[in-house]
Amino acid sequence: MSEHQGLEVRGLAKHFGGVQAVKDVSLTVQPGECVALIGPNGAGKSTTFACIAGQHRPSAGQVLWNGVSLDALSPLQRLQHGLARTFQVAQTFEALSVLHNVQLLLPGAPSLRPWAVLEDAPSAQALHLLERVGLLEQRDLDARSLPYGAKKRLELAMALAGLEPQPGRTKTAQLLLLDEPAAGLGMAERGSLMQLVHGLTRTVGGAAGLAVLYTEHNMDAVFGVADRVLVLMEGHIVAAGSPQDIAANPLVQSRYLGQSLRHLPEASHA
């Protein structure tokens, strides 16, 4: 058993027939850390995420959380161990209110049938999460009526709801996997959402913050936000380090970033 705390991925590989989508990926993410996984289209980022979250079974390698292997666990079982994810396109229950979307993902929530049960479900936790993502005033709106940026925030609140501890249980270390959280958003919306995401990793009241691993194509949602950056190309990680290190890396510049990010602004988070 590994003594590493947080996420540890060892030699991850995933084949689809003769296509080798991920060849050899090893990475770590610790609680309180925000790590970006970047790379060109087809690099294997979404496949790596799906293997970590449990949608795909790796062809080789291991995924461990706090030293415990997750390889035999379903996505639901991984959620119960403190791993939640979002998707490139926001996944919400369009016919339900914003509040009900979050209530439905809380541990012990009623099923979709009968619908009326949600009306009487406790709402304090859900309201707190909506306030946390800036959607408290929209709580009674149907999800379908939200602009796309708000839907991204709602999906984030839903993921956080799934990480809430079962009643009577102590909250454990948690990992949030975000697959292109800023996709489809304007620059101002991206900046606001990503600062919210980074804030989730901060220690609050003595409790360790979340471990966050996210993929992204918008570099303004990476530089100035991520504590570390991993660069994935052709199924394996070719560079890892601080945002400044990655921006100055000749291989990454020539094959992905170009020259435009050689000089970066100082990170805007604490």
Same domain (yes/no): 78, 128: no
Task: Please write down the HEC assignment for all residues of 160-229.
Answer: HHHCCCCCCCCCCCCEEEEECCCCCCCHHHHHHHHHHHHHCCCCECCECCCEEEEECCCHHHCCCCCCEE
Domain end marker among 124, 147, 170:
170
In a domain, 43, yes or no: yes
The pTM of the whole model exceeds 0.85? yes
Collapse the DSSP code of 28 into the 3-class scheme (helix H, G, I; strand E, B; otherwise coil) and give the result.
strand
Token code pair at residue 94: 């369009």
pLDDT digits (tens, 9 = 90+) for 158-215: 999 988 877 655 667 799 999 999 888 889 999 999 999 999 898 654 456 799 999 9
Q: In this structure, are 193 and 73 located in the same domain?
A: yes
pLDDT band at 1 (very low <50, low <70, confident <90, very high): very low
Q: Strands 175-179, 211-215: parallel, antiparallel or unpaired by DSSP? A: parallel
Asked if 78 and 53 count as a contact pair (C-beta separation under 8 A), the reply is yes
Choose one of 148, 170, 192: the last residue of a domain.
170
Both tokens assigned to 261: 């990010």
Residues 6+ apart with CB under 8 A from 83: 52, 53, 54, 65, 70, 174, 175, 177
Across 109-113, 147-151, 245-249, least confident range: 109-113
Find how far residue 158's CA is from the centre of its chain: 12
3-state secondary structure of 233: strand
Counted domains in the chain: 2
Domain of residue 135 covers 94-170
| pLDDT tens-digit series, residues 231-243 | 999 999 999 999 9
For residue 238, the one-letter residue type is: V
115 inside domain: yes
Do residue 117 and residue 143 come from a single domain? yes
Q: CATH number, domain at 256?
A: 3.40.50.300
CA terminus-to-terminus distance, the chain: 34
Domain final residue, candidates 138, 170, 202: 170
